[in-house]
Amino acid sequence: MRWTQIKWPKTVTEIHVHVGGSVPLYRLWEIAIERGIRGLGGGYEEFIDLVKIDSSKVKDLDSYLKIYDRIELIQSGPSAIRESIIIAIHRAYRTGGMVSIGPGGEGGSPSSLFSIGRLELRLNPMKRTGAVFLKGEHAGLYDVDRVIKASCGAVEEVELAFKNKIQSGLIFMFGRDMTFEANMILAKKIQIWREKTDKIIGLDLAGPESINPLSDPRRLREMKEVFDEAGGGVGRTVHVGETPHVDLKTFLATVEALDPSRVAHPIVAFRAYWNKKDDRGLKLLKERDIVCELCVKSNLLTRAVADLAEYGRIINTLDEFGIKYTFSTDAPSLQGTSLAEELILLLDNHAATEEQVLRALKTADECSFLPRSGW
Ligand SMILES: [Zn+2]
């Protein structure tokens, strides 16, 4: 069936989008100029070349994440993160349902299949302080409290301006590439700020699995401590098992220790089942009723998934085990894509059926960390 004939919901929920990946590139360029950021290449075209994620540049998760480092610096400080979040939510509402996206990450088609009416945005506030974490530093130029306050304030402002036509909230991410001490500082800040605002809706873990796969039980215990320090009462999701650096044993231990209700890209669980008939990962997801956050184009770009045929196999395997899943864009502006475009990609290539896509959209509505009240 052609996607134009599908009865799409008027508004949908998108639950896996990074602030670093959802500011259109031309807007990032403008922010960088305004803030006097160095290292932007030799002009606009070169800048676009530097930050646009495409298959010629990205070969795995590590090279995908490298592009984020530069963007996180551009988005550092209270005023840049505030502006970035306002742009990111507005972008989702305006272009999330568009069937194609133009160069620079802006809307490329006037026809929309739906609007994104509820949006979960994720970011690591410590990485917006201007600190360079890989060098062991965790004190940047900017104050993390001011970054958090500006982020939450930006969400409130957009919701007010949109007269509640869009609802949004922030998932704060801990970093695999940050020291225990830096993650702990963030956890303590989250605990304090959750008392002051309802815009922090969840916790996440992200960053290169190659640097810290959490296979060392001590590192995993530390990460659990960090999550527990941030406190309960908010949603939990974890990026885990996207690369071969995380084996099935580590995947199982991570899910058990960090106790998420959703996981992002748990590719290792499929591989273990397909290649070794080891279904422990999938069974654990089913037992705990954990929802899988799938991001089609991102998984193809990082080569976590080989092609759309393999994507179809993932979706069918999830259905075979009765595990819930959702589709999101991860980094729509960097990938030059929209949620609608990615769903069409699945449908056109017979990687998912209309029923599977519509069910995934409903699951995103239901498993969202956003409060139902006021919506
Ligand atoms: Zn992600």
pLDDT for position 55 = 79
The answer to whether position 279 is within a domain reads yes
pLDDT interval class at 252 (50, 70, 90) = very high
d(CA 161, CA 138): 35
**Would you say 96 and 14 are in contact if contact means Cβ atoms under 8 Å apart?**
yes
d(CA 48, CA 263): 31
The answer, yes or no, to whether residue 1 has pLDDT greater than 70, is no
pLDDT interval class at 133 (50, 70, 90) = low
**Would you say 351 and 312 are in contact if contact means Cβ atoms under 8 Å apart?**
yes
What is the Å distance from ligand 1's center to 44 Cα?
A: 26
The answer to whether position 235 is within a domain reads yes
The answer, yes or no, to whether residue 107 has pLDDT greater than 80, is no
Mean pLDDT throughout 193-207? 96
The answer, yes or no, to whether residue 375 has pLDDT greater than 90, is no
What is the Å distance from ligand 1's center to 306 Cα?
A: 18
What is the pTM (predicted TM-score) of this model?
A: 0.95
The answer, yes or no, to whether residue 135 has pLDDT greater than 60, is no
Q: Can you list the alpha helix ranges (DSSP code H) found in 36-165?
A: 44-51, 61-74, 78-95, 144-161
**Chain-wide mean pLDDT for the chain?**
92
What percentage of the chain exceeds 90 in pLDDT?
A: 76
What is the Å distance from ligand 1's center to 267 Cα?
A: 13
In terms of pLDDT, which residue wins out, 41 or 249?
Answer: 249
The answer to whether position 116 is within a domain reads yes
What is the Å distance from ligand 1's center to 294 Cα?
A: 9
What is the Å distance from ligand 1's center to 174 Cα?
A: 12
- Of the candidate ranges 58-67, 217-226, 361-370, the one whose mean pLDDT is the lowest: 58-67
The answer, yes or no, to whether residue 138 has pLDDT greater than 70, is no
What's the number of CA atoms in the CB half-sphere (13 Å) around residue 262? 26
d(CA 38, CA 35): 9
Domain limits for position 131: 18-367
> What total number of domains does the chain contain?
1
SS3 state of residue 169: strand
CATH code: domain of residue 138: 3.20.20.140
What is the Å distance from ligand 1's center to 284 Cα?
A: 21
CA torsion, ordered 324, 292, 339, 120, to nearest 10 deg? 110
Contacts of residue 171, defined as CB under 8 A and 6 or more positions apart, other chains included, come to 120, 121, 122, 123, 201, 202, 203, 204, 235, 237, 369
pLDDT interval class at 371 (50, 70, 90) = very high
What is the Å distance from ligand 1's center to 360 Cα?
A: 17
What is the Å distance from ligand 1's center to 5 Cα?
A: 30
The answer to whether position 111 is within a domain reads yes
The answer to whether position 259 is within a domain reads yes
pLDDT for position 36 = 87
What is the Å distance from ligand 1's center to 275 Cα?
A: 25
Order of strands across the sheet with 262-264? 11-18, 115-123, 167-175, 200-206, 235-239, 262-264, 291-294, 325-327
263-310 tens-digit pLDDT: 999 999 999 999 999 999 999 999 999 999 999 999 999 999 999 999
pLDDT for position 84 = 97
The answer to whether position 7 is within a domain reads no
Paired with 292 in beta bridges are 263, 325
What is the Å distance from ligand 1's center to 263 Cα?
A: 10
